[in-house]
Chains A and B, each alone.
Chain A
Amino acid sequence: MTLPIEGNLTLVLAVVFGSIFGMLLQRGRVANYDVIINQFCFRDFTVLRVMLTAIVVGGIGVYALHQFGLAQYHIKPANMLAVVSGAALFGVGIVLYGYCPGTGIAAVGTGSIHALVGFVGMLFGGIIYALSFSWIETNILAIASFGKIRLPAITAISDPYWLGALLILAVILFRFLDRTKLFEE
């Protein structure tokens, strides 16, 4: 059997991997409105702990796999006007909705009816985006567009140093958060 797997088996694996992801979001307490809102209010750092740990562990492993030719990178293009304005809207939306797309879908599975209402809102937002795509493509996506660039390429600091720095930063931050009483967790 050669990797990556292709064909119909990937459809079964999609459900398996998705289920593991949904289970992890639920058990990690991030499919929870209060936990996400309290992150943005600096009262609960669960979201940052989960995300930063996933980035560091995932980043080191995927870099190693990439070095051995077992994994390919999938870099999203740095269309900077679109990324910045999209992220800005996303930040407003995540606090109103109380979930991001993945945790929202997981939250529906835990019985959250308002997450389901927001899911319909997400479909509405997706339809509006698709209908305005032609205009956005020429007037926003094309502005300040630098292609599929990575931090090592634009900084002359190589991958191991970036990942090492992230690891050290995460450990220092987590030790501080676990011990401090500042945020009354």
Chain B
Amino acid sequence: MSNSRFMRSYIVGAAIGILSWVVYVVVNAPIGITTALSEVAGAAAVPLIGTEAVAANPYWAKTIPAWDYGTLFLVGTFVGALLSSISEKTFKWEFVPATWKDRFGDKVAPRFFAAFIGGAFVMFGARLAGGCTSGHGISGSLQLAVSSWTFFLVMFVTGILTARIFYSTSSKSTKEDL
């Protein structure tokens, strides 16, 4: 019973590995998310700081906001998960997830606040490090890059410490929901 649940993780992991073979050969681009996401951030900055300020920024000059391979890959990631969850009949609107609810209650505002701050940390950290869980964690690690294995290990350590602080007295009742 439980073995089949674990087996799914291994099959999906292997499939992501095989997908990486295909993308390396067919389009010569490792799977990655945040390089393209910084283009989206550039597009989002246009109404805030103006087109000229975005174009003049030395960082966005390197990753010009456009509908290119990277940003369309992001669109695909969203669409793929959407279709997959609809066909699996697991699509559902979620405002406060179960683990959070157990620990912090069911108020929406605190969860949204943490998601926003966490998202900002994730993106700033990923850009500083040069990649995220996809670009460093999977694509970089599988190439045995020193930077990527460093990222993988350090990220897990601070993640575990943060979880210790935020979830130390969390109940374990959510497991049945999974």
Interface residues of A (CB under 8 A from B): 3-5, 10-11, 13-35, 37-38, 40-44, 46, 49-59, 61-62, 65, 70-80, 82-115, 117-131, 133-134, 136-137, 140, 146, 148-152, 154, 159, 162-163, 174, 177-178, 184-185
Contacts and interface: CB of A to CB of B under 8 A. Distances in A.
Given A23-B80, A83-B147, A121-B116, A133 B25 contact: no
B133 A17 contact: no
B137 to A, nearest CB: 6
Interface of B: 2-3, 6, 8-10, 12-31, 33-34, 37-38, 40-42, 44-45, 48-49, 57-60, 67-70, 72-85, 88, 90-100, 111-112, 114-163, 166-167, 170, 172, 174-175, 177-178
Given A41-B170, A50-B9, A56 B177 contact: no
Chain B at the A interface: SS class = helix
B131 A110 contact: no
Contacts of A56: 17, 142
A75 B131 CA distance: 11
A111 B78 contact: no
Contacts of B130: 76-77, 79, 82-83, 86
A129 B128 contact: yes
B97 A18 contact: no
Contact of B81 (A25, A72, A85, A136): A25
B25 A71 contact: yes
B150 A96 contact: no
Contacts of A61: 17-18, 20-21
B80 A18 contact: yes
A126 B76 contact: no
